């Protein structure tokens, strides 16, 4: 198949490009390099089945393709809050342009949505039926509401125009190729531990997240995209739930060194707990995570160790 991946030079996008190329597909990787890096896809550039296009999804795009994975959007809070208006535009206009193209060429469209659509959840763990608790005017809203509106557009293009859609709600995912200065918790803690800096816990460290290793997530993407009928939304994430203090201690144990833990103020609207209910993914996609946090941290730490040595 010929497959378009928007945001293909980013953390998740580059792993998806690799996996789909390996399976014999032709890949068009579209990215504006806001948080994506050429380094992530350098090893794919010589592949005759791989094409790189520098483009911004807020502008229309046209290709002859069979499937589109729409991943373009900064994912870490510091990056999406850097230019919040642009973040909303990227989610909303990126979805419109993705769906317009899918409608025109009859392609199946896949949306990388997020657990952030649940906001600071009052239901725990979060099933897909939970409608969420998002503050529409807070500092996370540019991302959360942008992603919620993108989901709306996907389902309306499906109902109104018969576009085939797949919507995944991704829970915190980590692994090699996250940016070292990304600001997300796993990369922050690992880089801090490797460079002997203090580990920065925001708030008291009792807030929880569930961390999925990137290879598990990509497997879930492929299963959902190629499922004959399930449009989603489907939660994909690892139900193992950890406090940020537990994560800091685990990273410190694995990296060693002399970093200490320091406590900084909690950012606004930071969700207190998050864990996916993955019953639907298990039942319909036969999917469940296979890599524990303990095991997934090792290749991630190795990646950052090498990256910091090269710098
Ligand atoms: P990332 O920041 O590494 O990747 C995003 C990519 O999109 C980057 O390559 C960036 O340059 C590109 N991009 C941003 N704005 C663009 C625009 N206007 N036009 C074209 N390209 C643009 O983040 P990621 O972790 O790889 O996330 C990929 C997708 O998955 C995002 O849509 C994100 O919201 C979603 N997601 C990720 C996670 C996670 O834990 N990693 C969780 C929930 C949802
Ligand atoms: N966090 C932290 N220290 C950091 C970065 C993040 O304690 O250096 C916390 C953050 O406040 C949040 C959790 O870790 O409670 C996950 O943050 P991340 O930005 O990775 O993802 P999200 O909040 O979007 O789930």
Q: How far apart are CA 134 and CA 90, in angstroms?
A: 19
Q: Per residue in 215-240, pLDDT tens?
A: 999 999 999 999 999 999 999 999 99
Question: Is 138 close to ligand 2, i.e. is its CB under 6 Å away?
Answer: no
Tokens found for residue 42: 């350098």
According to the model, what pLDDT value does residue 177 have? 97
The closest residue, in CA terms, to atom 27 on ligand 1 is 75
Question: Is 207 close to ligand 2, i.e. is its CB under 6 Å away?
Answer: yes
Q: Catalytic annotation on 143?
A: yes
Tokens found for residue 290: 């296979």
Q: Which atom of ligand 1 is nearest to the CA of 10?
A: 9
Question: Is 191 close to ligand 2, i.e. is its CB under 6 Å away?
Answer: no
Ligand 1 centroid distance, CA of 79 (Å): 10
Reported pTM: 0.97
Residue 122 burial class via C-beta count within 10 angstroms: exposed 0-12, middle 13-18, buried 19 and up: exposed
Q: Per residue in 297-306, pLDDT tens?
A: 999 999 999 9
Domains along the sequence of the chain with CATH: 2-175+212-239+270-289 (3.40.50.720)
Break the chain down into helix, strand, coil percent, rounded to 5: 40, 20, 40
Question: Is 188 close to ligand 2, i.e. is its CB under 6 Å away?
Answer: yes
pLDDT band at 139 (very low <50, low <70, confident <90, very high): very high
The closest residue, in CA terms, to atom 14 on ligand 2 is 185
- Return the number of other C-beta atoms located less than 10 Å from residue 229's C-beta: 6
Cβ–Cβ < 8 Å for 5, 222: no
Residue 306 burial class via C-beta count within 10 angstroms: exposed 0-12, middle 13-18, buried 19 and up: exposed
């Amino acid at each position: 198949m010929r497959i378009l991946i928007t945001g293909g030079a980013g953390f998740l996008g580059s792993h998806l490009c690799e996996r789909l190329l390996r399976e014999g597909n032709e890949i068009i990787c579209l990215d504006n390099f806001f948080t994506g890096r050429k380094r992530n896809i350098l090893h794919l550039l010589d592949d005759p089945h791989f094409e790189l296009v520098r483009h911004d999804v807020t502008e229309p795009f046209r290709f002859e393709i069979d499937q589109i994975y729409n991943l373009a959007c900064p994912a870490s809070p510091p990056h999406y809050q850097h230019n919040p208006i642009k973040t909303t535009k990227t989610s909303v206009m990126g979805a419109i342009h993705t769906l317009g193209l899918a409608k025109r060429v009859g392609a199946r469209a896949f949306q990388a949505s997020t657990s952030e659509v649940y906001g600071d959840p009052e239901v725990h763990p979060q099933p897909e039926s939970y409608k969420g608790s998002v503050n529409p005017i807070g500092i996370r809203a540019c991302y959360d509401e942008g992603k919620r509106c993108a989901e709306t557009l996907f389902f309306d293009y499906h109902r109104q125009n018969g576009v085939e859609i797949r919507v995944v709600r991704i829970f915190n995912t980590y692994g090699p190729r996250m940016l070292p200065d990304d600001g997300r918790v796993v990369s922050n803690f690992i880089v801090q531990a490797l460079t002997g800096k203090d580990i920065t816990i925001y708030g008291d460290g009792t807030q929880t997240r569930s961390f999925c290793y990137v290879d598990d997530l990509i497997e879930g993407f492929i299963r959902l995209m190629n499922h004959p009928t399930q449009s989603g939304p489907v939660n994909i994430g690892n139900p193992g739930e950890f406090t940020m203090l537990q994560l800091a201690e685990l990273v410190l144990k694995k990296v060693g060194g002399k970093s200490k833990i320091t406590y900084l103020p909690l950012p606004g609207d930071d969700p207190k707990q998050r864990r996916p209910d993955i019953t639907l993914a298990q039942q319909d996609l036969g999917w469940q995570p296979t890599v524990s946090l303990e095991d997934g941290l090792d290749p991630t730490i190795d990646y950052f160790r090498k990256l910091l040595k090269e710098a």
